[in-house]
Structure 1
């Protein structure tokens, strides 16, 4: 079923907010890292993986979710975290390593935790599969409402954790959905060079569950496919597997020279940027006027700028706090 007008507006707002967040993250991340790139320098040290281009997957799925539903995400998590409703300021603070961050500045951008909306992510490939299936099992055993969704990349479908978790979810008929974000590249390795099947949705047959592939990085098509799988999970009919064709517009990480992608491929991907396409569709269909779309973009940018300003001004944790909340 096609989302209603209010949902489509929310999807567009969230996609724009995510994109502006990533653009500002990129700008701040590069401070102190130029002209000689050193990821240890600047206000945001360490690796940084941006989700520009993959916003449709997050909004298409999360539009169906509630706070009680558990979500696990990947090392490229910002678009999913924003769509799931993770505390925006605390997430920004965490990326800056500030005490007011989601984990007190300990986790950084690949390890975001927000228990209020049941969101977690990890930098380990396919790591979210087990915890998500565990969350689904817990809800099933307790007789509680709510489902679990694991977002993974197409390369993660080749990990043992993916197969083990999918098998258990199917055997136990758990309220679980696996979303594979197929952006064609596992770092610098093309999908066809690393995966024996052209589409991972066909793997669903191995577990006796439905599998679906969504082409075109289209938020409305993703919404419809996710709606079917999530409704099935809520009805107690077991898990589903969805692979979504999406596009990573930036490199695998900030500083990636992208020598594995041709200029033609990058031009094609940028020409298919999903945000301008959705803006044009909403205006054509009368859901938004051009002025309303402009207002949304200005509002989202202002929210991002405010969050970054507050994060920059926030305090770092004291050095001795590094020994707190750890096992010794």
Structure 2
């Protein structure tokens, strides 16, 4: 399902804010269910990443695909995935989105072409596969892969960016950087600037304020537009505030 197109000007700002509020309200409900013991295991929320989801979602069309990380609910929700099915899934019910087998990290919505994984960095190669399918089967469609800055130190992410560049795949990778990889400060384990890694492969890269949905929309939209025209992949580094712990229950 294609998300509703946003209005321009002041109305567009209100639409983006509404999208962000919807994400936050939905995830607060999930947190309440987790705190009540109704959702088992870990719960990774997208607190502080709402603006990124809002800025990306407005550019998605029918036929586009999403390869998401372990915080998938913001973009799943804005993509049009049924929130009731997602809640049922996280409660482990058979009538959930994935028959209660996926939990909150391993979601798959066939109609919306959206999938997520808890394996750090795996969204990049998955995004390559989605992008290859888009190029072959649905020309003009794109794939968007999301991941955190900690995942950029996983070898498969660079392999995926390289393959996307070599094959000129319609893939846009959105890296959400909150400065921390679980409990490790990212700058303590990461050398250089992340956009430079993409640029070294000839992949256009942008850095945006991950708290500004308008800025996210502008830069992501430009790269998605280029990908639709067959001009290859793009990379966006969105600097996001860390407003909560790595997962529910963390300080």
TM-score, normalised to structure 1's length? 0.72
Answering whether residue 71 of structure 2 is matched by residue 76 of structure 1, we say yes
Answering whether residue 17 of structure 2 is matched by residue 22 of structure 1, we say no
Answering whether residue 15 of structure 2 is matched by residue 10 of structure 1, we say yes
Q: Is the 8 A contact 2:64 2:134 kept in 1?
A: no
User: Which runs of structure 2 are paired with 1:210-289 in the superposition (5 Å)?
Assistant: 210-215=204-209, 217-256=211-250, 258=251
**Between structures 1 and 2, the one with greater helix share:** 1
What secondary structure sits across from 1:203 in the alignment?
helix
1:142 deviation in Å?
A: 3.2
Change (3 A) 1:248 1:86: farther
Match of 1:117 in 2: 112
Match of 1:60 in 2: 55
Structure exhibiting the larger radius of gyration computed from Cα positions: 1
**In structure 2, distance between residues paired with 1:211 and 1:183:** 18
1:248 deviation in Å?
A: 2.8
Q: Is the 8 A contact 1:201 1:241 kept in 2?
A: yes
Relative to structure 2, which stretch is displaced further, 143-152 or 169-178? 143-152
Q: Is the 8 A contact 1:51 1:248 kept in 2?
A: no
1:80 deviation in Å?
A: 1.6
**In structure 2, distance between residues paired with 1:138 and 1:252:** 33
Q: Is the 8 A contact 1:3 1:223 kept in 2?
A: no
Q: Unmatched 5+ residue regions in structure 1?
A: 32-41, 259-328
**In structure 2, distance between residues paired with 1:79 and 1:139:** 23
Q: Unmatched 5+ residue regions in structure 2?
A: 1-5
Count of residues paired in the alignment: 245
Query: Aligned to 2:164, which of 169, 186, 198?
Result: 169
What secondary structure sits across from 2:175 in the alignment?
strand
CA RMSD, 1 decimal: 1.5
TM-score, normalised to structure 2's length? 0.93
1:216 deviation in Å?
A: 5.5
Q: Is the 8 A contact 2:63 2:134 kept in 1?
A: no
